[in-house]
Amino acid sequence: MQVYDINIDQQMKETTQHGSLDFPFAIYETQLNKNVLGFVNWHWHNELQFCYVVSGRIMLYVNNVEIMLKPGQGFFINKDVLHMIKPYEITDSKYVCINVHPSLLYGTPGNVIEQRLIRPFVQNSAFTHCIFSPETTSEKQILLLLSKVHSLYTEGEYGYELDILISLLNVWREIILIQKQKLPVDRAISETDENRIKSLLLLIHNRYKDKLTLKDFSDEVHLCSSECCRLFKRHMGCTIFEYVIDYRIEKSIDSLCFSDLSISQIAYDCGFGSTSYYIEKFRKKTGMTPLEYKKSVCS
């Protein structure tokens, strides 16, 4: 799909919904001279971004760094990193962009994959981007895997989602093997804080149907309310109650797809105080109402 423009809010965050809640993944082909501005303006997003150049040369701007990339090269942009892309020359510069929410890679929040192999990298302020060139064996492998992901998505054969996930996990493995020796320790989590996070997640997973209060969480880890909130936000990248809402929505999808319960009953069973509030939060998260999601995705 050709990208002609991207929607950016006042904080320069891209507001495009990339993929869906059940498969947060999207691929775009961007020919820069077809873009409204002729380039992709400064922006950032919550997704990880993997790209490779198809034709022409492009200029990648990441924070205060300028990088010229030619066909056959690629790059990675970490989540929440401000960047811009322009053509190096007035040519038909084109690149393929793969946007992936980190949750697709780690699956269940709080597991060892997220805590040790993904979060330390995506939350490391020193890790803004990296470049892939085919002259280096490991980077060439990354480029081949990204091209394979594009082909799998385009062909869309049965089980392509699983093949895409396997390829992306291999891409991520290559990236962290390259980066782990280069990066300074940043926002490392202590064993004590790791256990506290696990306790908070377990509380949410076991009691998401209940009316949870901040006192429930602070009592669970024996911290004051403000420190409990700071701990969770620092290591999980969202507030406790944002996570609770997201988890309730994820659990509600099981009922939407695999039961005949009414929307109201599902809302109540998953801990939402009202049907209207559930619908509001579900639409904000997925771009659809629960009923629309059930008809278009679950059927």
User: Once rounded to an integer, what is the mean pLDDT over residues 91-98?
Assistant: 88
Q: In terms of C-beta density within 10 A (0-12 exposed, 13-18 middle, 19 or more buried), how is residue 36 classed?
A: exposed
Taking 70 as the threshold, does the pLDDT of residue 200 lie above it? yes
CB-CB contact of 236 with 269 (8 Å)? no
Distances (CA, A) of 146 to 10, 56, 99: 32, 19, 11
pLDDT band with cut points at 50, 70 and 90 for residue 289 = very high
* pLDDT given for residue 2 in this prediction: 53
**96 vs 286, which has greater pLDDT?**
96
Range list of β-strands (E), the chain: 25-31, 40-43, 48-55, 58-62, 65-69, 74-77, 83-87, 94-100, 129-132
- Cα–Cα distance for residue pair 249/286, rounded to 1 Å: 10
234-258: pLDDT as tens digits:
777 679 999 899 889 988 988 898 8
User: Once rounded to an integer, what is the mean pLDDT over residues 265-291?
Assistant: 92
Tokens 């990298």 correspond to 121
Q: In terms of C-beta density within 10 A (0-12 exposed, 13-18 middle, 19 or more buried), how is residue 76 classed?
A: buried
123-178: pLDDT as tens digits:
888 899 999 999 999 999 999 999 999 999 999 999 999 999 999 999 999 999 99
Distances (CA, A) of 118 to 127, 128, 143: 12, 14, 20
Retrieve residue 9's tokens: 């809010």
Taking 60 as the threshold, does the pLDDT of residue 97 lie above it? yes
Taking 70 as the threshold, does the pLDDT of residue 5 lie above it? no
Domains and CATH numbers, the chain: 25-179 (2.60.120.280), 191-298 (1.10.10.60)
- Cα–Cα distance for residue pair 268/191, rounded to 1 Å: 36
Amino acid identity at 218: S
Which residues lie closer than 8 Å to 176 by C-beta, 6 or more apart?
A: 117, 121
Which residues lie closer than 8 Å to 213 by C-beta, 6 or more apart?
A: none
* pLDDT given for residue 187 in this prediction: 47
Q: How remote is the C-alpha of 288 from its chain's centroid? A: 19
Which residues lie closer than 8 Å to 33 by C-beta, 6 or more apart?
A: 87, 90, 91, 92, 93
100-129: pLDDT as tens digits:
999 999 987 778 898 889 988 998 888 999
Selection from 31-45, 66-80, 83-97 with the highest mean pLDDT: 66-80
**259 vs 236, which has greater pLDDT?**
259
User: Once rounded to an integer, what is the mean pLDDT over residues 83-105?
Assistant: 89
User: Once rounded to an integer, what is the mean pLDDT over residues 185-211?
Assistant: 80
User: Once rounded to an integer, what is the mean pLDDT over residues 25-35?
Assistant: 84
Taking 80 as the threshold, does the pLDDT of residue 207 lie above it? yes
